[in-house]
Structure 1
Amino acid sequence: MAMWKFPLMGLLLLLTIIGSPTTAEGPGESANEPVCPVMPKEEDTLNRAFFPKDFLFGTATASYQVEGGVYETNRGRSMWDVYCMKYPNGKRERGVSKDGIRFYHDLIDELNNNGIAPSVTIFHWDIPQILEDEYGGFLSEKIVKDFRDYAEYLFDEFGGKVKNWITINEPWVYAHAGYDVGKKAPGRCSSYVDKEVECLGGSSGNEAYNVTHNLLNAHAEAVEAFRNCEKCKGGKIGIAHCPLWFESYIKDNEVEDEAAKRALEFMLGWHMDPTTTGDYPETMKKIVGKRLPEFTPEQSEKLKGSFDFVGLNYYVSKFPKNLTSDKRDENKPRWLQDSGIEWTEKNEADYAIGSRPDNAMKDMSIYSRGLKSILKHIKDRYGNPEIMIMENGYGDMPHADIDGNVHVTNGTDDPNRKFYLQRHLFSLYEAVCVEKVNVKGYFVWSLLDNFEWQAGYKVRFGLYFVDYKNNLTRHLKKSGEFYRDFLSKGVLDPAKVKNDIPATKTEL
């Protein structure tokens, strides 16, 4: 019986602020444009010093995925059977968990005292089960008031200690996976969606749009509360979006180029456009029709400009292929069919988008160019807003023995993750320093191996290997060593950083 799992109910993003004494070589072309010291000669010479001096780097975790202690104190169940730390009975008036509040005060204080600036996500999918039972959670507009009440409580408690806030993590995943295909909690979809998924009721092609509508209105209310919060002055707030990048299925083909644009409208624009224009993309309104809810004038006004930065989670890219008529059934609506495309990993010429090592999790292709492309798209489409990359990482399944145990040696030997990070950091560098995209921070998912939702503990994303069979001991992986070295080499003497000297040869 519980309410929101307080800040770490979503990601607790540990933003390690690494200051570099490197100096810029003149002003940017506009107030928004980042200023980068120099350009690396090669990809493997890149390190912290080549980014703007105020650029933030860090790692991310999520409370449900790492905290444990599910039976301690008076936590309440969420729909992921996790235990929420703050409102044990769903609402503030039903009581607040003092133990939960103290836990997070202690954690945030410890981070701040050690030079680590925390960013907090208010909602990371684990809604209290008591609110699911009471009125259906985000299926009901009643959630909007309760969400604002929860957010106001958090701002009042922690607004003086936390400057960067995310209202909702990955609304597309929550709405689509939870209410259209049933692969994540609460597991709702229509029976015709997937024979391998046993859904717990639902209406695909309808509920996902209603849930998104309530998510967006809840976000707008929380942002209004944040901007009215005295303790929060000087802080910033946004949503963490999670779009794929879409390369045209057939190069230089007008029809397929349009499919790629439509794919982005349905995946990113669905949640991004309302926070900029106050309404859904015209493409979606035309295709989805009456199944897409409408904002009231008041809701629309609250949504416009309801972010200080764009949160971006990026992992992979796809080819969007136009759906043929034989694959459409208007009597069986669902989100992907509405978009009029199917996702593929190979294009019409049978070329794969990126590479996927043998031990990578399903659909975990490495395509770093997609990061630069989606960042450039946001710059061009939405007026170069401030962007924070809240998640970027690589999931693999290390070799296990016959009993399913992963030895530390295998678990820490992760060259593919190191390669993934190296490639994506270089793509990020190009976006920031060449394309002049207004990115202010980058955070690796994840600090350590954790519970990966329906994938359980088999898939690992951490920079630290967690030995689940030996007292949860933690061991730094090769990828963690790479990221540590990447950051430590960012403390440079600016006199030694010149265009003709590779960064790897500068002195620390």
Structure 2
Amino acid sequence: MVNYFNDFANLCFERFGNRVKYWITFNNPWAHAKVWHSYDTQWRAKQKGLVGISLSGDWGEPVDISNQKDIEAAERYVQFYLGWFATPIFHGDYPQVMKDFIGKKSVQQGLGTSRLPTFSPQEKSYIKGTCDFLGIGHFTTRYITQKNYPSGRSSSSYFTDRDLAELVDPQWPDPGSEWLYSVPWGFRRLLNFVKTQYGNPMIYVTENGVSEKMLCTELCDDWRIQYYKDYINEMLKDPLTSHMEMVTEIVVPTVCTLSILLSAIFLMFLLRRRN
């Protein structure tokens, strides 16, 4: 199928390449690198275009930011989701956490090798760097916590390999679809993750939006307008704003908690001295 798809892509480059300068090989991919190389060797010099890919990626936030297991589970959530395809394209191999967890589960199931395929050195070199820009389809966020799943062969799946549970905050705006909550701050955190993990690539947001909350016979798009406004604002925030938000969300509550604890300890010390 890879060769057939490559033939189809080359036909598109030949017929439309004089007008089309941005190509997305796949929206949620299963075979990509060969087409990028075909464009790079045969068409790029004369057509001056770019070839990228579009990947889905929702953000995973630890339920407890002081719990290392929750932090690691949230990292796994994003790596199994976006990193599954992005990491081979930018770094040449699957995310290490995928190799570790799927390999461990495979051994526990009595399999001789990991259920996750292994790239040869030649394949790693061929895949790495095959992305002129990264398309991201992003919609929502989940809170993530550690959860151990059994390793029985009949129960093994992509979801149980991750050893995590997904949660939502009841205070998040009610969705039009049961899976899609409006969580704008997760969008910015995902963009910062991509910037850090993959060397600040050029990004196009190829999918983003929300379903309507109610059936209506006339235009009633207030929910969707608010969703887009909130998500675009998160994308536009400058680094200083982001840093100040981190201070507000994490540092200030931590300092307040420590202050309360120290005050309580000091009060106990005074009461003991009086007694």
2:187 to 364, 371, 377: 371
Alignment-mate amino acid for residue 342 of structure 1: A
Q: Give the match for residue 330 of structure 1.
A: 152
Query: 1:262: how far off?
Result: 1.2
Change (3 A) 1:396 1:262: same
Q: Give the match for residue 315 of structure 1.
A: 139
2:116 to 284, 289, 292: 292
Q: Give the match for residue 305 of structure 1.
A: 129
Query: 1:397: how far off?
Result: 4.9
Q: Give the match for residue 414 of structure 1.
A: 221
Query: 1:251: how far off?
Result: 2.6
Q: Give the match for residue 272 of structure 1.
A: 86
SS class of match (1:388): strand
Q: Does 1:427 align with 2:240?
A: no
Q: Give the match for residue 220 of structure 1.
A: 33
Distance across 2 between alignment mates of 1:371 and 1:344: 17
Query: 1:433: how far off?
Result: 8.9
Q: Name stretches of at least 5 consecutive residues in structure 1 with no aligned partner.
A: 1-142, 172-214, 347-351, 400-405, 436-508
Is contact 2:185–2:231 with CA below 8 Å preserved after alignment? yes
Is contact 1:247–1:318 with CA below 8 Å preserved after alignment? yes
Alignment-mate amino acid for residue 382 of structure 1: Y
Is contact 2:84–2:95 with CA below 8 Å preserved after alignment? yes
Alignment-mate amino acid for residue 238 of structure 1: G
Between structure 1 and structure 2, the one with the greater Rg is 2
Aligned ranges 1:78-227 → 2 under 5 Å: 143-171=1-29, 215=30, 218-227=31-40
Distance across 2 between alignment mates of 1:299 and 1:413: 50
Change (3 A) 1:311 1:273: same
Is contact 2:69–2:145 with CA below 8 Å preserved after alignment? no
Distance across 2 between alignment mates of 1:328 and 1:396: 38
SS class of match (1:291): coil
Q: Deviations over 1:257-277 (max 9, x none)?
A: 111111111111111110012
Alignment-mate amino acid for residue 268 of structure 1: L
SS class of match (1:228): helix
SS class of match (1:342): strand
Query: 1:236: how far off?
Result: 1.1
Distance across 2 between alignment mates of 1:167 and 1:433: 35
Alignment-mate amino acid for residue 39 of structure 2: F
Is contact 1:278–1:303 with CA below 8 Å preserved after alignment? yes
Distance across 2 between alignment mates of 1:256 and 1:398: 35
Higher helix proportion, which one?
Answer: 2
Is contact 2:177–2:213 with CA below 8 Å preserved after alignment? yes
Distance across 2 between alignment mates of 1:260 and 1:394: 23
Is contact 2:13–2:43 with CA below 8 Å preserved after alignment? no
Distance across 2 between alignment mates of 1:339 and 1:323: 9
Q: Give the match for residue 56 of structure 2.
A: 242
Is contact 1:375–1:431 with CA below 8 Å preserved after alignment? no
Q: TM-score, normalised to structure 1's length?
A: 0.43
Q: How many residues are paired up?
A: 231
Query: 1:434: how far off?
Result: 5.9
Q: Give the match for residue 253 of structure 2.
A: none
Query: 1:329: how far off?
Result: 4.0
Q: Deviations over 1:339-395 (max 9, x none)?
A: 11121113xxxxx473225xx111111111111110011111111111111111111
Distance across 1 between alignment mates of 2:120 and 2:221: 50
Aligned ranges 1:336-485 → 2 under 5 Å: 336-346=159-169, 352=170, 354-357=172-175, 360-399=176-215, 407=217, 409=218, 412-430=219-237
Distance across 2 between alignment mates of 1:434 and 1:224: 40
Q: Tell me the percent identity.
A: 28
Distance across 1 between alignment mates of 2:239 and 2:135: 15
Change (3 A) 1:431 1:227: farther
Q: Give the match for residue 96 of structure 2.
A: 282
Change (3 A) 1:390 1:433: farther
**RMSD value over aligned CA atoms?**
2.0
Q: Deviations over 1:192-227 (max 9, x none)?
A: xxxxxxxxxxxxxxxxxxxxxxx2xx3000100111
Distance across 2 between alignment mates of 1:329 and 1:259: 17
Distance across 2 between alignment mates of 1:365 and 1:317: 7
Distance across 1 between alignment mates of 2:115 and 2:195: 30
Distance across 1 between alignment mates of 2:125 and 2:190: 27
Distance across 1 between alignment mates of 2:151 and 2:119: 28
Change (3 A) 1:433 1:251: closer
Distance across 1 between alignment mates of 2:171 and 2:152: 30
